[in-house]
């Protein structure tokens, strides 16, 4: 299996780390890593070789029967790498199948079998392969560090000879994996933390981390689902009521961190520009959904926007800011997935395996995922 160096701008992760090479060898696989692929994550070519991997050129890696990526085709359906792939090849990685279905269509036309890891079901059995959760943990942690760095205050309560400084007030919107990580990090730094999620089940998780759960009566019907469940899209009326009720909480906060994303859809705008303007100058907003359209009306992906003295940060590819640990977790997720499709040195997935089937996007020259096919439009990207 080949592990190419990632070429998307700002991407510092690597799909497999030296730590998982021995486990893949037990499956009968030889791991071929492009020279320098792991350097940005802190993994040298020598570290891979010490674990039994081979180092090769990009062309050699791209020709491997199984190709393992962080970002499939670097997120570009017109990538020059596409011409080097071949029919029957298996590609495993994050392909953003709903946001950019053209990548999946290009691989289908090339006859490549694509497994998009974003589609791995969030079930107990698949937990060890859930790349969205492992990377969201990093994002939640980093969001708090960004906010703490930008905020002109310290997070913890401090009693000194010069007086007492009140703790920062942090409001986290969305208590999924990223949100819970943000809550835990902000609490460790000593902030007073409030959090909100449309899912009733998130209440106990928020409280268990020492934060206050803010309750709004929206009648969303989203009683079920823990931190691993996907939130579903709310109606326009529910979003409007949520904004109204949320305004007071946002205004009294020093830091607001938003994490609400809906798979296969644009992120809902939960914090309007007027809500940001109601915050005190010097406050900070971090929008972890900026790449998906943004939860915060004035946020822009990859930029920090000043709104009446409030810094609105729209970070992109946050896990890549901690590439070593992000790669270690991602690589373990991928290795666990590969164990489902590789037997005795050959690609031999169980045709009845729900994890394999639900993650499959293209196979045999056609798109096999109905939702991706809908995103493309009927009849597109299905020829072999």
CATH number at residue 33: 3.40.50.720
Handedness of CA 98, 103, 107, 113 (dihedral sign): negative
Specify the pTM: 0.91
Query: Do 274 and 148 sit in the same domain of this protein?
Result: yes
Reported in sequence order, the residue ranges of 140-187 that DSSP labels E, i.e. its strands, are 158-160, 163-165, 169-173
Cα distances (angstroms) measured from residue 193 to each of 174, 242, 260, 334:
13, 19, 17, 34
- Which of 127, 238, 263, 321 is an active site residue? 127
Cβ contact 129:120 at 8 Å: yes
- Which of 133, 283, 292, 320 is an active site residue? 133
Radius of gyration of the chain (CA): 22
Q: Pick from 316, 345, 366: which residue ends a domain?
A: 316
Query: Do 294 and 149 sit in the same domain of this protein?
Result: yes
The answer to whether position 129 is within a domain reads no
Cβ contact 52:28 at 8 Å: no
Q: Pick from 266, 289, 316: which residue ends a domain?
A: 316
Query: Do 153 and 298 sit in the same domain of this protein?
Result: yes
Q: For every one of its 384 residues, what pLDDT tens digit does the chain have, with 9 covering 90 and above?
A: 999 999 999 999 999 999 999 999 999 999 999 999 999 999 999 999 999 999 999 999 999 999 999 999 999 999 999 999 999 999 999 999 998 899 999 999 999 999 999 999 999 999 999 999 999 999 999 999 999 999 999 999 999 999 999 999 999 999 999 999 999 999 999 999 999 998 888 999 999 999 999 988 766 555 444 444 445 566 778 777 778 889 999 999 999 999 998 877 789 899 999 999 999 999 999 999 999 999 999 999 999 999 999 999 999 999 999 999 999 999 999 999 999 999 999 999 999 999 999 999 999 999 999 999 988 884 444 433
- Which of 125, 230, 265, 384 is an active site residue? 230
Query: Do 250 and 281 sit in the same domain of this protein?
Result: yes
Q: Which residues pair with 367 in a beta bridge?
A: 362
Tokens of 111: 């006859």
- Which of 122, 187, 252, 371 is an active site residue? 122
Q: Pick from 316, 332, 357: which residue ends a domain?
A: 316
CA pair distance 21, 29, nearest whole angstrom: 9
Is 362 catalytic? The answer is no
Q: Which residues pair with 171 in a beta bridge?
A: 194, 256
Cβ contact 360:114 at 8 Å: yes
Query: Do 261 and 168 sit in the same domain of this protein?
Result: yes
Is 330 catalytic? The answer is no
Confidence at residue 377, expressed as pLDDT on a 0 to 100 scale: 80
Query: Do 173 and 286 sit in the same domain of this protein?
Result: yes
Q: Parallel, antiparallel, or unpaired: how do β-strands 284-287 and 255-258 relate?
A: parallel
Confidence at residue 381, expressed as pLDDT on a 0 to 100 scale: 41
CA pair distance 198, 319, nearest whole angstrom: 25
The answer to whether position 128 is within a domain reads no
**Domain of 200, in residue numbers:** 136-316
Cβ contact 46:75 at 8 Å: no
Query: Do 290 and 338 sit in the same domain of this protein?
Result: no
143: helix, strand or coil: helix
Number of domains in the chain: 2
Query: Do 21 and 157 sit in the same domain of this protein?
Result: no
Q: What is the DSSP string of 263-278?
A: TTSPPP--B-HHHHHT
Q: At what angle do helices 177-188 and 131-150 cross, to 10 degrees?
A: 40
The answer to whether position 384 is within a domain reads no
The answer to whether position 126 is within a domain reads no
- Which of 71, 79, 81, 130 is an active site residue? 130
Query: Do 206 and 251 sit in the same domain of this protein?
Result: yes
Query: Do 369 and 277 sit in the same domain of this protein?
Result: no
Tokens of 376: 């493309």
Tokens of 165: 């400084």
- Residue 166 C-alpha from the chain's centroid: 33
Q: Which residues pair with 182 in a beta bridge?
A: none
Pick from 339, 365, 362, 340: nearest CA to 351: 340
Query: Do 113 and 250 sit in the same domain of this protein?
Result: no
Query: Do 308 and 334 sit in the same domain of this protein?
Result: no
């Amino acid at each position: 299996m080949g592990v190419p160096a990632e070429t998307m701008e700002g991407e510092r992760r690597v799909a497999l780390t030296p730590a998982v090479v021995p486990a893949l060898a037990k499956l009968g696989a030889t791991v071929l890593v492009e020279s320098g692929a792991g350097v940005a994550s802190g993994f040298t070519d020598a570290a891979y070789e010490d674990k039994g991997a081979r180092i090769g050129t990009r062309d050699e890696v791209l020709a491997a029967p199984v190709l393992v990526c962080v970002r499939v085709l670097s997120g570009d359906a017109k990538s020059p790498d596409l011409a080097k792939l071949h029919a029957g090849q298996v590609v495993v990685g994050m392909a953003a199948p709903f946001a950019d279905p053209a990548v999946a269509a290009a691989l289908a036309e090339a006859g490549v079998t694509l497994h998009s890891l974003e589609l791995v079901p969030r079930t107990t059995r698949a937990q060890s392969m859930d790349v969205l959760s492992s990377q969201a943990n990093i994002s939640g942690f980093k969001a708090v560090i960004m906010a703490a760095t930008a905020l002109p205050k310290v997070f913890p309560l401090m009693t000194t000879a010069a007086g007492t400084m009140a703790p920062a007030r942090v409001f986290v919107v969305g208590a999924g994996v990223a949100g819970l990580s943000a809550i835990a990090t902000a609490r460790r730094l000593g902030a007073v933390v409030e959090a909100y999620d449309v899912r009733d089940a998130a209440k106990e998780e928020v409280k268990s981390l020492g934060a206050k759960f803010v309750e709004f009566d929206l009648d969303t019907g989203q009683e079920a689902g823990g931190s691993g469940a996907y939130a579903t899209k709310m109606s326009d009326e529910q979003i409007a009521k949520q904004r109204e009720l949320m305004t007071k909480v946002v205004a009294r906060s020093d830091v607001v961190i938003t994490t609400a994303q809906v798979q296969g859809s644009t992120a809902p705008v939960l914090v309007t520009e007027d809500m940001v303007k109601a915050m005190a100058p010097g406050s900070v907003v971090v929008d972890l959904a900026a790449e998906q359209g943004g939860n915060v009306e004035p946020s822009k992906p990859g930029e920090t926007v000043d709104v009446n003295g409030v810094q609105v940060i729209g970070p992109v590819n946050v896990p890549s800011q901690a590439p070593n640990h992000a790669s270690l977790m991602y690589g373990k997720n991928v290795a666990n997935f590969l164990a489902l499709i590789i037997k005795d040195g050959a690609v031999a997935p169980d045709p009845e395996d729900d994890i394999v089937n639900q993650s499959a996007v293209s196979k045999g020259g056609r798109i096999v995922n109905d939702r991706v096919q809908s995103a493309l439009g009927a009849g597109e990207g299905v020829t072999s």
